[in-house]
Amino acid sequence: MDWAYLFEICLTGLSGGGLYALAALAFVMVYKATRVVNIAIGELLMVGAYLFFTFASMFALPLWLAIPAAVLGTGLLGAVIERTMIRPLLGEPPISVFMVTVGLASVLVGLVEMIWSADQRRLPEFMPTQPIMVGEAFLAPKVFWGAVVAVVFIAAVLLVFRFWRGGVALRATASDQAAAYSVGINVPRVFSLAWVVSAMIAAVSGIIVGSIGGISSSMGVFGLSVLVVVIVGGLDSVLGALVGGLLIGLVEALAGSYLGGEYKLLATFLVLVAILMVRPYGLFGTHEIERL
């Protein structure tokens, strides 16, 4: 066995897994606070990438302005979605909210194709292009720097929500909504905050993913892999999102290299089924026990 080649594949897989972990964090942020399964996370990621394309390429804004504008614009979209589509459904069966997010995904794809067309586009270059060598292993520079940005951003988000007052309120609401209400926390506002932050994280992820492989109206397919990641790690677990992202990234890289690219999705779903058979709530998901 060529160990250098295997090491290179593992590095690529872990780097790609970092991008999955960042997008999975956006998913977990909403589910943990609101118990909404946001199936449209891939489409929010797509919108963030297209907004960056608009600001950077069409409006010719400098990158230091285009990236924050795209992230803030997607965050605003998250707030509008929560206020107009999700909040009116509070107290309704979970399947109703789930189907709204399924419809939302289709609506966002339709809007992107109406505004920007379905053609694939390239984002402006903003990451270093020097080859990355780790020992004898080669790592694509965009994948490497994308993973670095993802890790830094994940760390920043976790630190902010560990010490910021809004983060404390979000964690309290995620633990027990009734208790959060009783101590004066504005729970609907926390729900809105969760959607805004989730959409902003998705936008950052979309910009990174788009810079690596280009952008198109089919980018939302990335959300399918993200959904696998969060189910494997545990729907309400931030640690699960991080570990699940790295695991699925590694599995995809190994399957793609040794079995062929067409087997990547099959391999990830086999891992998903195997883990759920042993741990139905995911690797780090909360095991909920309800009293009848």
Residue 217 has pLDDT above 80, yes or no: yes
Residues 6 or more apart in contact with residue 279 via CB below 8 angstroms: 285
In percent, the amount of the chain with pLDDT more than 90 equals: 47
Given this model, what pLDDT does residue 292 score? 43
Tokens linked to 6: 């295997």
Report in angstroms the alpha-carbon separations of 211 from 52, 61, 69, 141, 244: 10, 17, 17, 11, 23
One-letter amino acid at 276 equals L
Given this model, what pLDDT does residue 289 score? 53
Given this model, what pLDDT does residue 125 score? 85
**What is the arithmetic mean of pLDDT over 258-282?**
90
Taking the CB of residue 188, how many other CB atoms lie within 10 A of it? 13
Given this model, what pLDDT does residue 255 score? 93
**What's the pLDDT band for 288 if we cut at 50, 70, 90?**
low
Given this model, what pLDDT does residue 83 score? 93
Using one digit for the tens of pLDDT, what is the confidence trace for 13-65? Answer: 999 999 999 999 999 989 888 888 899 999 999 999 999 999 998 898 999 89
Q: What is the overall mean pLDDT for the chain? A: 88
Would you give the distance in Å from CA 207 to the centre of its chain? 12
Tell me the C-alpha distance between 68 and 92, whole Å: 35
Using one digit for the tens of pLDDT, what is the confidence trace for 71-105? Answer: 999 999 999 999 999 989 877 888 899 999 999 99
**What is the arithmetic mean of pLDDT over 261-270?**
88
Longest dimension (CA), the chain: 61
Tokens linked to 79: 């707030």
Given this model, what pLDDT does residue 223 score? 86
Taking the CB of residue 92, how many other CB atoms lie within 10 A of it? 10
Whole-prediction pTM? 0.91
Pick the residue with more confidence: 160 or 1? 160
Tokens linked to 241: 């999102």
Asked if 253 and 12 count as a contact pair (C-beta separation under 8 A), the reply is yes
Q: Nearest 5°: phi and psi at 268? A: -65, -40
Q: Which of 190-194, 240-244, 261-265, 286-290 has the lowest mean pLDDT?
A: 286-290
Asked if 240 and 234 count as a contact pair (C-beta separation under 8 A), the reply is yes
Tokens linked to 200: 């902003």
Using one digit for the tens of pLDDT, what is the confidence trace for 107-153? Answer: 999 999 999 988 899 998 888 888 888 877 888 888 889 999 898 98
**What's the pLDDT band for 3 if we cut at 50, 70, 90?**
confident
DSSP result, the chain: --HHHHHHHHHHHHHHHHHHHHHHHHHHHHHHHH----TTHHHHHHHHHHHHHIIIIIS---HHHHHHHHHHHHHHHHHHHIIIIIGGGTTS-HHHHHHHHHHHHHHHHHHHHHHH-S--B-PPP-S--S-EEETTEEE-HHHHHHHHHHHHHHHHHHHHHHHSHHHHHHHHHHH-HHHHHHTT--HHHHHHHHHHHHHHHHHHHHHHHHHHH-B-TTGGGHHHHHHHHHHHH-TT-HHHHHHHHHHHHHHHHHHHHHT-GGGHHHHHHHHHHHHHHH-TT-SS--------
Residue listed under structure tokens 């189907």: 99
**What is the arithmetic mean of pLDDT over 167-176?**
77
